[in-house]
């Protein structure tokens, strides 16, 4: 999985997310970073993250500078381990979404995401639970993506 970051002209960091289509079998309608399963031809998990970002949002691998990795993050519903990489990109990219997977791309200011943290009670598949969330406007980031965001925010100083 790739957590793309860019610095805008005003010097503000932004995170790039995808809104998954509502009709997907796994994680429908969720906000996530671009990513997916490793293919046999991928040299390593960083190559997987770059390939998936290219496939899902049209971000060419050569346009990304991998600057680090976050700890592997489990998904509780699908029981995956997600290996997130952080990559710097240039602002103003023209996204080309994979219409079969991605509804749209979100570019959210990092400080707006940080300020949007809250603990909420959610119900998924009939099971209530309390979890960390980031509610930015109409967009709620939760689950594994929220845990990745928390890891990233812990490493980046406010402002």
Residue 91 DSSP class: S
Domain boundaries, the chain: 2-155
- This prediction has a pTM of 0.91
* Spatial separation of the C-alpha atoms in residues 97 and 53, rounded to whole Å: 10
**pLDDT tens for each residue of 1-46:** 999 999 999 999 999 999 998 787 766 679 999 998 999 999 999 9
Asked if CATH classification 3.10.20.600 holds for the domain at 2-155, the reply, yes or no, is: no
Paired strand residues for 85: 2, 69
**pLDDT tens for each residue of 43-93:** 999 999 999 999 999 999 999 999 999 999 988 767 788 999 999 999 999
Query: Within 10 Å of residue 140's Cβ, how many Cβ atoms?
Result: 19
Number of alpha helices (DSSP H) and beta strands (DSSP E) in the chain: 3, 11
């Amino acid at each position: 999985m790739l957590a793309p970051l860019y610095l805008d002209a005003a010097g503000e960091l932004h995170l790039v997310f995808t809104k998954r289509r509502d009709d997907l079998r796994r994680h429908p309608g969720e906000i996530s970073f671009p990513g997916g399963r490793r293919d046999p031809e991928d040299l390593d998990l960083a190559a997987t993250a770059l390939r998936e970002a290219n496939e899902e949002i049209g971000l060419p691998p050569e346009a990304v500078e991998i600057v680090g990795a976050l700890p592997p993050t489990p998904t509780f519903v699908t029981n995956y381990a997600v290996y997130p990489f952080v990559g710097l990109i240039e602002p103003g990219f023209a996204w080309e979404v994979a219409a079969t997977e991605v509804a749209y791309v979100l570019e959210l200011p990092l400080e707006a995401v940080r300020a949007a943290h809250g603990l909420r009670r959610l119900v998924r598949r009939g099971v209530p639970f309390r979890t960390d969330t980031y509610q930015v406007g109409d967009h709620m980031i939760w689950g594994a993506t929220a845990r990745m965001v928390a890891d990233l925010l812990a490493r980046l100083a406010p402002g």
